[in-house]
Amino acid sequence: MRRVGVMGSVAIEPQGRKPRHMTPARIGIYAFLVITALFFAVPLYVMIVTSLKTMDEIRLGQILSLPLHPSLDAWRKAWSSACTGLNCNGMQVGFLNSVKILIVSVPASILVGSVTGYALSFWRVRGATLLFGAMLVVAFIPYQLFIYPLVRVFSVIGINNSLIGIVVVHTIFGLPTMTLLFRNYFAALPTELFKAARVDGAGFLRVYWSIMMPMAMPILVVAMILQVTGIWNDFILGLVFAGRENLPMTVQLNNIVNTTQGERAYNVDMAATMLTALVPLIVYFGSGRWFVRGIAAGAVKG
Amino acid sequence: MPARLLRLPSRFVATLALAPAFAVMLVVYIGATGWTIWISLTNSRMLPGNVFVGLRQYESLFANERWQVSVHNLIIFGSLFVLASLALGFLLAVAIDQRVRGESLLRSLYLYPFSMSFVVTGLVWQWLLNPTLGIEKLVRGLGFEAFRFDWIVQQDMAVYTLVIAAVWHASGLAMAILLAGLRGIDEDIWKAARVDGLKTWRVYVSIIAPMLGASFATAAVLLSTAVVRLYDLVVAMTNGGPGLASEVPAKFVMDHLFERQNLGLATAAATTMLITVAAVAAPFLYWQSKRQRLLAR
Amino acid sequence: MRQGSDVDVRGVEIGYGSVTVLEKLDLHIAPSEFVVLLGPSGCGKSTLLNAIAGLIDVQAGQIWIGGRNATWDEPKDRGIAMVFQSYALYPRMTARGNMSFGLKVAGLPQQEIGRRVQEAAETLKITELLDRRPSELSGGQRQRVAIGRALVREAGVYLFDEPLSNLDAQLRAELRVEIKRLHQKLKATMIYVTHDQIEALTLADRIAVMKDRIIQQLGTPQDIYQRPANRFVASFVGSPAMNFIAGELRLGSDGARFAAQAFDLALNGYRFAATPRDGQKVELGLRPEHIETTGAAAAPAGTEAIIEMVEPMGSDQLAWTRLGGAAASLRLPADSTLRTGDRVSIAISPGKTSLFDLATGQRL
């Protein structure tokens, strides 16, 4: 049975591989993907491009155009001489502050979270289930409910507006997520491991340090990504608890950009924004699949 | 006997290890929340007062124009943001699921905004939506002299700029969650659908989407928590302006705590936020725990 | 009664990228025939089935279904229906919904859909289950619904991809009978993939035994069982498994003989499929039920055996002994009183045995 082709000539008898055509549907999908890709990519492009232009060029209003004479002047200014109020030392101040906060808060919150999660998954302590349930619930409460009491308590203790204060705050608010993360991970490990270690005579801390944590590499990476990104990007907690000398980069960025008198130096603004976005972007692009795993793990609230 | 002695200290250490968590839960989460609620029921203003005044602060709150605008804005923002992010996230996930080329590149592209701070997002979009130098100027330059895109300085449109920026920021998250859900679907279902002669779009709409209930719920809940916490984006992008056009409850609380120094009003607002969150989160948590118990059986 | 479509696989090659899974495969299935593709995992049987269904493309060759070249046709245009191992029911629809969805989308009138669903449900005895969701059904019930979804298509060819593998032994036996009854009632062409040789033997009109992506033997269950074409087929089909004794062929004036350690068998009445050579190294294949015991003593030496172990299996017993240096099992009636250590004499009918070349495994 031969098939008659379009031209009336005898066409090929179907055999072997089916010819693949680009259907309209497939074209539509690619078109959609390209358009949305542009939607997501253009802002980043504009950020970079604006930061490399001179103010004259920017005033021309061609927001999408490439810089005529790209220069890193704006970046230099943003880094070392941008002004927050009376201080004109640039974003490097905020950058260092954010780094200081990060270096202490990330290990602290991961340590506390992992020990708590570990304790909840293997050990029968009174009230453990209640604690776990409570953590699921409190993760939803907005920060605004805690701010005033915490500020008062911190002033009394003397750690308000200090590095310790902000570190403690990040540890406290990171506790539910970190605990959930580690607890879910440990709960999925075979209990035989734990029992074997106990039979071998290992105690609470020994099991934690020598057996569980070495096995927890994957979740540690995820926890680090979540905490580094979360703490670096934080604004409200840094604003309230860090104190003027320790303001993180995000707070300083907002101050520089939104509280300028007179004409704004858009290129410096964008350079400063890029600088602030750099660390999380590097973590993001460098972490590959781990970032998505972090989202998946953080999304599982119990 | 020695074994028992060995075990006792360990359990003690375990309880000790959980002590910080217990302490935090009790003192911070429960204690602070309780204190805040208490303050909202007193006559506090600049400093915490001690006179119990019942719901008077709440009366002032609900009569407060700024609060009314904030709530109104949040409702508009919340519904548009969650729906748009879910829709866009779903479409992106479906499109990527079609075995397209450059999949991992596209995925990274859609998700990178989520890795950045809301402050960064707000500032970038503030720049893009700048009426004299941003998109409006660009399109006008292309010849469309009458083009207007100055929403960010318009009273009745400012909220929508927040929506745009937030959707840009977070639809990658929705996409990631929904894509994971899509990938978890049994391949044989696709085969059966093909034998049944169903068109691809039909399969997604009638069979796959209903199966993604859990993924949609998870994504919706995560997006909703961002809605209530909305603060950074507003401060960076519009600072509540123009006027009160883009005020939101979280900002209301912060402003009244620090600048306007009205503790009573601020804590009443915060408590109202809590009640709203509880009203939405409680059924979700309940449904989650029921599902856990069902799955465990 | 409709007649099923015939299926013709001509020189088909299937592969992914540079990996070839199936090469130059030919298979013809007559209308209304029940053909089973039998083999261990990885032998290519599912791949072949999916290619016939149109779910996988072929790299070369053609597939004809019902007299039509269907090589490039979408599954829905091939006149086929398929049942999957994991049932693949749409979870959010009721059983009725699952069975009618494809027809609804195809635009069939409501009445016709209703009639077909009702008929299929009655055939499969699931009429009370129609308004339940898959999560409310047991494994066996789900599989019936899946079969129902295939039946309503009133296809020319029904394809089954290991449909019973996820069920427990008892359900498997039940549904096996149902599928056979279905075939008798519908007289449709059925192609069935499985790794279970019992399913193959009971259901098939013909079996294609596959290994390493090649059809080792295509024949009726009788053929496959009585005259396996090679050692693999012989060992794969039949439970308890066939016994194999390694030895040599001796060709003499009085015919051929099989010689092994303390074991000698005259091969009168054995139908050779290939020409034997003197001194050829071979394996003798004996099915346990073809070894007869004729009571103790009073038997010429060489056909005596000592029972090493007896396994009672309910309907009969399996006795283990040594023949020609190899372990061999033989069937005893349930009431046999033979025990470990007893001597028995063995009688083997050469016509019922199989001889395989030791090196190639081919039947002699």
- Given a cut of 70, whether residue B17 has pLDDT beyond it is yes
Cα–Cα distance, C57 to C71 (Å, whole number): 8
Separation of alpha carbons B123 and A46, rounded Å? 12
Whether C72 and A18 lie within 8 Å, measured CB to CB? yes
Residues of A in Cβ contact (< 8 Å) with B172: 40
Q: Which pLDDT band holds residue A9 (cuts at 50, 70, 90)?
A: very low
Q: Is C303 on the interface with A (CB under 8 A)?
A: no
Tell me: the pLDDT tens digits for A234-244? 999 999 999 88
Whole-number pLDDT of residue C347: 84
CB–CB of C341/C296 below 8 Å? Answer: no
* Chain A CB contacts of C70 below 8 Å: 14
Instruction: Give the residue with greater pLDDT, B136 vs C190.
Output: C190
Dihedral sign for Cα atoms in the order B248, B250, B252, B258 = negative
In chain B, which residues have their Cβ closer than 8 Å to the Cβ of C84? 188, 191-192
Domains and CATH numbers, chain A: 6-71 (no CATH), 92-301 (1.10.3720.10)
Chain B residues inside the 8 Å CB shell of C80: 195
Q: What is the pLDDT of residue B8?
A: 55
**8 A C-beta contact, residue A40 and residue B109:** yes
Q: Is A217 on the interface with C (CB under 8 A)?
A: no
Mean pLDDT, residues B105-110: 91
User: In the beta sheet, which residues pair with residue C63?
Assistant: C9
Residues with Cβ within 8 Å of C259's Cβ and at least 6 positions away in sequence, in order, are C247, C248, C249, C250
What pLDDT, in 10s, does the model give residues B253-291? 999 999 888 889 999 999 999 998 888 888 888 887 787
What pLDDT is stored for residue A212 in this prediction? 86
pLDDT on residue B296: 60
**pLDDT: is B46 or A8 the higher one?**
B46
Which pLDDT band holds residue B5 (cuts at 50, 70, 90)?
Answer: very low
**C21–A contact, CB cutoff 8 A:** no
The two three-digit tokens of residue A281, written as one number: 């972007």
Mean pLDDT of A245-264: 87
Q: Which has the closest alpha carbon to A280: B221, B105, B126, B169?
A: B169
Q: What local confidence, expressed as pLDDT, does residue C192 receive?
A: 96
CA distance B126 to B227: 19
Note the pLDDT of residue B91.
Answer: 94
Name the percent of chain B lying above pLDDT 70: 96
Residue the block writes with tokens 């240096």: C325
| pLDDT band (50, 70, 90) for residue A59 | confident
What pLDDT, on a 0 to 100 scale, did the predictor assign at position C342? 85
C324 vs C225, higher pLDDT: C225
Instruction: Please give the mean pLDDT across all residues of chain C.
Output: 89
Cβ within 8 Å of A, C 36-95: 57-62, 67-72
C290 touches chain B (CB under 8 A): no
**Cα–chain center distance at A180:** 18
The structure tokens listed for A224 are 């680090």
Measured distance CA(A109)–CA(C135) in Å, rounded: 42
Summarize the confidence of residues C46-74 as an average pLDDT: 91
Cβ–Cβ contact A16 with C under 8 A:
yes
Q: What is the pLDDT of residue A300?
A: 54
Q: What confidence score (pLDDT) does residue C163 get?
A: 94
Structure-token pair, residue C198: 């019992």
Whether residue C20 lies within 8 A of chain A, CB to CB, comes out as no
Predicted pLDDT at A189: 87
Please tell me which of the candidates C58, C68, C69 has its beta carbon nearest to residue A17: C58
Q: Which residues of B touch C76 (CB under 8 A)?
A: 194-197
Q: What is the pLDDT of residues C25-41, one digit of tens each?
A: 899 999 999 999 999 99
Least confident of A13-17, B176-180, C113-117, C323-327: A13-17
pLDDT band, residue B115 (cuts 50/70/90) = very high
Asked whether the predicted pLDDT for residue A102 surpasses 90, the reply is yes
Q: Check pLDDT > 60 for residue C220.
A: yes
pLDDT confidence tier of residue A301, bands split at 50, 70 and 90 = very low
The DSSP string of A190-229 is -HHHHHHHHHTT--HHHIIIIIIHHHTHHHHHHHHHHHHH
CA distance B292 to B282: 15
Write the residue in A63, A254, A295 that is nearest to B235 by C-beta: A254
Range list of H helices, chain B: 2-23, 33-40, 56-63, 65-96, 103-115, 118-128, 135-141, 158-183, 187-195, 200-202, 209-211, 213-228, 232-237, 249-254, 263-296
Best C52, C73, C76 member to test B by mutation, with max B CBs in 10 Å, is C76
What sign results for the dihedral spanned by CA atoms A232, A236, A242, A246?
positive
Option in B195, B207, B211 nearest C75 (CB): B195
| Residue of chain B whose alpha carbon sits nearest to that of A236 | B232
Pairs of CB atoms within 8 A across B/C: 61
Q: Domain B68-296 class?
A: mainly alpha
- Mean pLDDT score, C335-361: 87
pLDDT tops 60 at residue C298: no
Q: In chain C, whose CA is at the least distance from the CA of A17?
A: C59
> How large is the ipTM?
0.87
**For chains A and C, what is the number of CB pairs under 8 angstroms?**
30
Residue A6 has pLDDT above 60, yes or no: no
CB spacing of C105 vs B191 below 8 angstroms: no
